Amino acid sequence: MTPIGEASTATKIEILSAIRQLAPVDAPTLARELTAQGHEVSSSEWINRRLDALRRSNLVLRRPDGTYVLTMEALEKLGTRRGARSPDVRRFLALARRGR
């Protein structure tokens, strides 16, 4: 087990960026994506607490089907950039991989 000081837990910005890429996304899928990015997700309770904090901060919305999306406030905070690493390009590629 990794000591707390050495754990690579996702920051608020990294969680929001993952939600932007995958939205609408449920908590287990988000946890798998963060783990795939190299972050430690200790439990489902941990990810649920993070999502609740983001919801209380008005950065994410929980839809009736249990999935999460970003609010306009979160999108404005995250900003955007041009080029191949653009969040819009990354989202388009993620949607294409999922067959939407």
Per-residue CA distances from 3 to 9, 19, 37, 41, 81 (Å): 12, 27, 19, 13, 35
pLDDT level of residue 31 (50, 70, 90 thresholds): very high
Amino acid found at 62: R
Could you give the domains of the chain? 4-98 (1.10.10.10)
pLDDT tens digits, one per residue of 5-20: 556 899 999 999 999 9
- pLDDT, residue 2, reads 47
Assign residue 83 a region: left if phi > 0, alpha if psi is -120 to 50, beta otherwise? left
Please give the pLDDT value at position 10: 92
Interval 35-78: pLDDT, tens: 999 999 989 999 999 999 999 999 999 999 999 999 989 888 87
The sign of the torsion formed by the CA atoms of 84, 81, 9, 32 equals negative
Determine contact, residues 70/23, Cβ cutoff 8 Å: yes
